[in-house]
Amino acid sequence: MVLAVRNLDKGKDAEARIRQRSPGAAVALQELDLTSLDAIRAAAERLRSDHQRIDLLINNAGVMYPPKSTTKDGFELQFGTNHLGHFALTGLLLERMLPVAGSRVVTVSSLGHRLRADIHFDDLQWERRYNRVEAYGQSKLANLLFTYELQRRLAAHGTTIAVAAHPGGSNTELMRHLPRWAAVAYPLIKPMFQGADMGALPTLRAATDPQALGGQYFGPDGLTQGRGHPKVVASSRKSHDIELQRRLWTVSEELTGVVYPLG
């Protein structure tokens, strides 16, 4: 298992906790900064060099509601990190996955893909105006559009599948950039949220369920998918728009310079 991390100190702490619980675990760290295409290419090159096969890739990194800022390549931070970074990394590693029967790509989306979410092709980087909630929704909708289009392209190969998951409402550091109005309300609704351990279960099921099918989306089974145990759930109608999926794919290739080895 390789933990691809931006912060090596936090990565070492996570590695130590894994080894404490499972002394025989094979764990390695790989530095990865999804806000830099150069760093993504460097990390992917190292991973391809160290691993001749990759069984599972979990695209789990994310930022939510930050003040307006950009990646090192000038992309709006949420779209650049949550979508374009994962798009580039997956494309650069896919050649190590395609020969592996049962391999899969898991991309983590969010309930936020429904919240004022659209793909703003006329202003993808939010240069004319910036709304942190809408920008987050765009990035999380992009995660699902990417998953469904990737699955369609993988289907002809018959080995690797693409699936998605979301954690519901989970108490994590992701909440640190809440808008002021939401930060005021958060203590009141926090009891409705679940712990990070429960929030991780949909991703773990998407990654390990032997019955999982390409294109499925896993989330909590509770009311409004906010909490509970993982099951296959539905995503928004917009996320299934094939024209939107294909257009985003083309734009993502142009912005990242990464072309997938899928013919």
As annotated, the active-site residues are 136
- At residue 79, φ and ψ (nearest 5 deg) are -65, -40
Question: In Å, how far are 14, 118, 134, 192 from 236, measured between CA atoms?
Answer: 34, 11, 15, 23
Alpha-carbon distance of 140 to 83, in angstroms, equals 8
- DSSP single-letter state for residue 35: T
Closest CA to 64 of 96, 18, 110: 110
Q: Which helix (H) or strand (E) holds 104?
A: strand 104-108
Residues ≥6 apart with Cβ < 8 Å to 118: 134, 137, 138, 141, 238
